[in-house]
Structure 1
Amino acid sequence: MNTITLFSIVLTVAAYGLARLLAVRFSSPLTTPVFLSTVMIILVLAGSGITYQDYTPAKEIMTYLLGPATVALAVPLYHNRDVLLKKAAPAFWGLTAGTLATVVSAVWMTKMFHLTEATAASAAVKSVTTPVAIEVARMIGGDPALAAIFVMIAGMFGAMFGPWLLTVMKVTDPFARGLSIGTTAHGIGTAQIVQEGSLQGAVSGAAMGAASIFTSLVLPWLFPLL
């Protein structure tokens, strides 16, 4: 591991830790740790002359750790299994409605602005996790790179404004909050909502996985109809 890679890893961890502290002290969508730490990292890298190519090895190491982190979501799922089973039916209908709404609204917005069919296909998968989004985008004629960008934007905005918007709308039930964020903001939103509590994190993680499966099954035949 070279010096730049080590520096990039330390920078990323430190920026996220600092962003977490600031989020506790100054609660605001703009202090959401995922967003604020991203801004800090970009500013430091730009100021130090470290390019994205230089940062890539560090990114790959940290991305590898996403696997164990995702598996770790099974722990809160197990601890909250009784609640999940009890509310499985309403959760199914809520997830179905939420997933269809994100797909339809994304496609209709791209058509409203007269964007290309490939852009519409790429936007349609914005609310599922990146690996699934890339593969489904390919299946329906989208651009995988553009799909990944839409996924990142949806996750970032979901993490920043999702919990705040739910609070404004007086949605206080932990189960409903987790289901909403997991359905629309995948892993980035889940990383944010889990800070509210283990139940929110468990439901969001389950919704993220279920939404990905549902989207991959439904979108190939639904997209041509839109």
Structure 2
Amino acid sequence: MDGLTLFNIFITIFFYLAARILYRYVSNPFTTPVLLATIVVLLVLNATDISYVEYTPAKELLTYLLGPATVALAVPLYKNRFVLKEKAIQVVVGITIGSLVTICSSIWISKLLNLSEMIQATSAVKAVTTPVAIEVVTIIGGDPSLAAVFVISAGIFGAAFGPLCLTLCKIHDPVSRGLGIGTVSHGIGTSQAVVEGKLQGAVSSVAMGAAAVLTSIFLPLIYNIFK
């Protein structure tokens, strides 16, 4: 591993941890750790003239670590299993309705704006995790590269503004907040849900996985109906 890759890893971790510390004292959508750290890292890379290609080795290593991080979500999930079992029906109904509404609203808004069929297909997968989105979007004629951009954008936006929207709608129940964030903002949103609380993070991880499965099953059918 060369020095540049180590530098890129260091600044990514450093600014994310710094953003988390700042968020404890200044809590608002614009200080959300994922959003703020992403912006600062981009500014540093631009200032130091480091290209995306040069940053890629660091990105690939950090992306690899997402696997163990996702598995680690099983710990709070196990600790809160009785709460989830108690509210199993609400959880299943909430994730199902949330996934269907996300798909339908994305396609409908794209049609309303008279966007191309490719954009309509690609936007429909924005709420699921990137690996699933890339695979599913090819089935309905979307662009995998653009799908990744939509997914990341939706995740960052959901992590930054999702909790605020839920609060404005007077939704304070931890399970409901976790469901809402995880269903529409996948892994990035889940990282913010964990900051709110262990129960929110556990429920969000369940919602993230279930939404990915439901989307892969229902999206081709729903898209053909709209088409």
Per-residue deviation, 1:176: 0.4
Per-residue deviation, 1:109: 0.9
Q: What are the within-5 Å matches in structure 2 for residues 176-187 of structure 1?
A: 176-187=176-187
Measure, in 2, the Cα distance between the counterparts of 1:81 and 1:21. 29
Question: Is contact 2:129-2:208 (8 Å) kept?
Answer: yes
Match of 2:173 in 1: 173
- What are the Cα deviations for residues 87-107 of structure 1, in whole angstroms up to 9, with x where unaligned? 111111111111111111110
Measure, in 1, the Cα distance between the counterparts of 2:77 and 2:193. 14
Q: What are the within-5 Å matches in structure 2 for residues 3-42 of structure 1?
A: 3-42=3-42
Identity over aligned pairs, percent: 56
Amino acid paired to 1:74 = A
Match of 2:124 in 1: 124
Measure, in 2, the Cα distance between the counterparts of 1:187 and 1:180. 13
Question: Is contact 2:133-2:148 (8 Å) kept?
Answer: yes
Matched residues, number: 226
SS in 2 for 1:90: helix
Match of 1:103 in 2: 103
Per-residue deviation, 1:111: 0.8
- What are the Cα deviations for residues 128-156 of structure 1, in whole angstroms up to 9, with x where unaligned? 00000010101111100111111011101
- What are the Cα deviations for residues 165-191 of structure 1, in whole angstroms up to 9, with x where unaligned? 111111110000001101110000000
Per-residue deviation, 1:8: 0.2
Q: Does 1:84 align with 2:81?
A: no
Measured on the aligned residues, the alpha-carbon RMSD in Å equals 0.7
Measure, in 2, the Cα distance between the counterparts of 1:155 and 1:23. 18
SS in 2 for 1:128: coil
TM-score by length of 1: 0.98
Measure, in 1, the Cα distance between the counterparts of 2:15 and 2:21. 10
SS in 1 for 2:196: coil
Q: Runs of 4 or more off by more than 2 Å in structure 1?
A: none
SS in 2 for 1:69: helix
Question: Is contact 2:76-2:201 (8 Å) kept?
Answer: yes
Match of 1:135 in 2: 135
Amino acid paired to 1:149 = V
Measure, in 1, the Cα distance between the counterparts of 2:153 and 2:48. 26
Per-residue deviation, 1:84: 0.9
TM-score by length of 2: 0.98
Gaps in structure 2 of 5+ consecutive residues: none
Measure, in 1, the Cα distance between the counterparts of 2:147 and 2:164. 26
Q: What are the within-5 Å matches in structure 2 for residues 41-80 of structure 1?
A: 41-80=41-80
Measure, in 2, the Cα distance between the counterparts of 1:166 and 1:222. 27
Per-residue deviation, 1:36: 0.3
Question: Is contact 2:19-2:37 (8 Å) kept?
Answer: yes
Question: Is contact 2:111-2:120 (8 Å) kept?
Answer: yes
Amino acid paired to 1:46 = N
Q: Does 1:159 align with 2:159?
A: yes
Match of 1:193 in 2: 193
Measure, in 1, the Cα distance between the counterparts of 2:117 and 2:87. 38
Measure, in 1, the Cα distance between the counterparts of 2:186 and 2:174. 17
Gaps in structure 1 of 5+ consecutive residues: none
Measure, in 2, the Cα distance between the counterparts of 1:196 and 1:36. 17
Per-residue deviation, 1:120: 0.6
Per-residue deviation, 1:26: 1.2
